[in-house]
Amino acid sequence: MSTPGDYAAVRKDIAALLKQPEYDDGSAGPVLVRLAWHSSGTYDHETDTGGSNGAGMRYETEGGDPANAGLQHARVFLEPVKAKHSWITYADLWTLAGVVAVKEMGGPEIEWKAGRTDYVDDSKLPPRGRLPDGAQGADHIRFIFYRMGFSDQEIVALSGAHNLGRCHSDRSGFHGAWVNNPTRFSNTYFRLMLSRSWKEKVLDSGVRQFVHYDEDAEEELMMLPTDLALLSDPSFRPWVELYANDKERFFEDFAKVFAKLVELGIERDEAGKITNADNVKGGYHS
Ligand code: DDH
């Protein structure tokens, strides 16, 4: 047990669990980033529903959404941290874990603020179907991300998270990693998107994705239809080109937009205290 509010101690323990030699590419980092994103990415600006507050993925309605398949691995990785620092809320822990993972994998420092609660407000629960479907195109991407309040530039910056991790046939149906070193945060995803020739491949399951094979690579790399939609869309493409050519700029923009993502639906006063979650039941609240 640490002192309530000692987020530095929590960060340290998250960093220490990232190395997982038996899991995927040897790191829990990518799936933790996806947990932070899916816990936040259900937000709808118009109805002010969804978002990371409440950690709704603990329950079947949200946790059992097929879009969240596989994220139980991330939640299980974090259980010992929650047990040791029981004062932190799941909503804070899951978003902080994504931020720490990005940094530890060589990415930018992302601003993160505490205070989310684990109180589930039934009127704020998101319906299923709020997260993007990789089989679709630019219109779908805009529909999903405009709903959260993001611009075209922010959508492309956020998509750069696909530098990390991989697709698992038994989770999403897609298969493979986007880059050769999927536990190192960089702008390689954008560079490969532009420089390689991507060929359509229909997997045995009937799922359609795009692949490229480099002779010296260990495995075939992949892109989702939604990834390549960023190339064919005239408003997305200039951002892909910018981020492929300017890693610093990508890191800067990614840090800003990921910080915005994990704050969706959260209102704070000038001192940073959350003002729209007074119904705090359980969890630590200062
Ligand atoms: Fe993603 N993502 N994502 N993604 N994502 C998958 C894996 C990972 C889409 C579909 C998939 C973002 C945007 C989109 C990460 C982070 C982010 C998988 C594979 C699919 C499918 C899941 C599996 O089989 O395990 C689509 C569609 C979009 C879209 O924008 C249209 C964003 C915005 C982020 C972010 O973090 C900001 C990460 C990390 C992974 C790797 C997970 C892992 O287990 O490895």
For the chain, which residues make up each domain, given as ranges? 7-131, 138-255
CATH for the stretch 138-255: 1.10.420.10
- Ligand 1 within 6 A of CB of 171: yes
Residue 139: exposure state from Cβ atoms within 10 A (0-12, 13-18, ≥19) = exposed
Rounded to the nearest 10 degrees, the angle between the axes of helix 247-261 and helix 29-40 is: 50
Mean pLDDT of 211-229: 92
Whole-complex ipTM = 0.99
Mean pLDDT of 264-277: 88
Identify whether 38 is a catalytic site residue. yes
Q: With contact defined as beta carbons under 8 Å apart, do 264 and 51 qualify?
A: yes
For residue 172, how far is its CA from the centre of ligand 1 (angstroms)? 10
For residue 71, how far is its CA from the centre of ligand 1 (angstroms)? 11
Residue 124: per-residue pLDDT: 85
Identify whether 94 is a catalytic site residue. no
Buried b or exposed e, range 188-198, using 16+ CB within 10 angstroms: bbbbbbeeeeb
Residue 286: per-residue pLDDT: 35
Residue 275: per-residue pLDDT: 85
Cβ neighbours for 286, distance < 8 A, ≥ 6 positions apart: 4, 5, 115, 273
Mean pLDDT of 49-53: 95
- Ligand 1 within 6 A of CB of 185: no
SS3 131: coil
Q: pLDDT category, 122, cuts 50, 70, 90?
A: confident
- Ligand 1 within 6 A of CB of 176: no
CATH for the stretch 7-131: 1.10.520.10
Residue 217: per-residue pLDDT: 80
Confidence check: pLDDT of 281 > 50: no
CA distance 177 to 179: 6
Q: What is the pTM of this model?
A: 0.96
For residue 263, how far is its CA from the centre of ligand 1 (angstroms)? 19
Report CA 129 to chain centroid distance, whole Å: 16
Atom of ligand 1 nearest to the CA of 261: 37
- Ligand 1 within 6 A of CB of 167: yes
Q: What is the largest CA-CA distance in the chain?
A: 57
Q: pLDDT tens-digit profile of 157-175?
A: 999 999 999 999 999 999 9
Q: With contact defined as beta carbons under 8 Å apart, do 161 and 267 qualify?
A: no
- Ligand 1 within 6 A of CB of 119: no
Mean pLDDT of 119-135: 92
Structure tokens at 202: 């229909």
- Ligand 1 within 6 A of CB of 132: yes
CA distance 164 to 147: 24
- Vertex 254 angle, CA 194 and 226, to 5°: 45
The residue type of 224 is L
Strands across the sheet with 208-212, in order?
Answer: 199-202, 208-212, 221-223
For residue 34, how far is its CA from the centre of ligand 1 (angstroms)? 6
What percent of the chain has a predicted confidence (pLDDT) above 70? 97
Atom of ligand 1 nearest to the CA of 169: 24
